[in-house]
Amino acid sequence: MLEVQNLSVNFDSVRAVKNVSFLLQNKEALGILGESGSGKSTLALAILDLVKIASGRVLLDGRDFLPSDRGAKISMIFQDPFTSLNPVFTIGEQIMETVRLHQNLSGNRAKDRAIELLKLVHIHDPEDKINNYPHQFSGGMKQRVMIAIALACNPEILIADEPTTALDTTIQKEILDLISELKEKLGFSVIFITHNFGIIRKMCSRVLVMQKGEIVEEALVADIFSSPKHPYTKELVDNLKVLNAA
């Protein structure tokens, strides 16, 4: 279980995240919804201790989150697979680096694990593809590789930060279906960070709505659509209804 307690993040004089608190239960799919600049991605980076926390705590299974938990206990996939992979190394080398770092595997054992992970994310002919460079993959295939890297150490929690934004519509569905399949198969919890109501509705059971660094509403996904409480949430839902009616 992940518990965030009164978490705040400052950038110079700007408070980007303001006293955010929430719980993530085991095997839960939680959405964090908000427009660009609302603090969603900064919150995710703070959870992973990748930006300095001004105040508050992040607890994992009742203890303070440690830098060694990053990658091993909590992993993250980012919105742009085109820039997330290093172009000068094969995808196999990049997966094996993660495996060596967190699972203490080397040589053929690391390679076998990398091939296993490529199979897990449905990349065909993984024994051959492991030797390919990122430029030889489409955007959707790159994102599958990023998911493989994120899951290399069997994390308890996966944070997906706008994981389909840079992809075509058809490929977006494939990636979301893959994450859903892997969540059920491997039993991890997932946090979806997005501005997209459709992703929240498809993938999540509960949602936090962020505005200007604060959580302004927390509810079950079904309730947020049928009876939003906060004016900002109502505005988001009304805008969605207008788009659906167009």
Instruction: Summarize pLDDT for 141-150 with one digit per residue, the tens.
Output: 999 999 999 9
Residues 6+ apart with CB under 8 A from 99: 105, 110, 113, 114, 152, 153
Lowest mean pLDDT among 28-37, 90-99, 165-174: 165-174
pLDDT at 245 over 60: no
User: What's the helix, strand, coil split of the chain in %, to 5?
Assistant: 45, 25, 30
Return the closest-CA partner of residue 71 out of 184, 156, 2.
156
Average pLDDT over residues 3-31: 95
pLDDT at 206 over 70: yes
Question: 214 near 20, Cβ under 8 Å?
Answer: yes
Gyration radius (Cα) of the chain, Å? 18
pLDDT at 242 over 70: no
pLDDT at 168 over 60: yes
Residue 188's pLDDT is what?
Answer: 97
pLDDT at 52 over 80: yes
Domains, the chain: 2-245 (3.40.50.300)
Pairing verdict, β 29-33 and 206-211: parallel
pLDDT at 167 over 80: yes
Question: Would you give the DSSP letter of residue 187?
Answer: -
pLDDT at 43 over 90: yes
**pLDDT confidence bin for 71, thresholds 50/70/90:** confident
Task: Look up tokens 């919890």; give the residue.
Answer: 189
Residue 78's pLDDT is what?
Answer: 85
Question: Would you give the DSSP letter of residue 134?
Answer: G
Q: Return phi, psi of residue 28, to 5°.
A: -85, 150
Residue 225's pLDDT is what?
Answer: 86
pLDDT at 84 over 90: no
**H or E, element range at 128:** helix 126-129
Residue 243's pLDDT is what?
Answer: 59
Average pLDDT over residues 53-78: 89
Residue 244's pLDDT is what?
Answer: 62
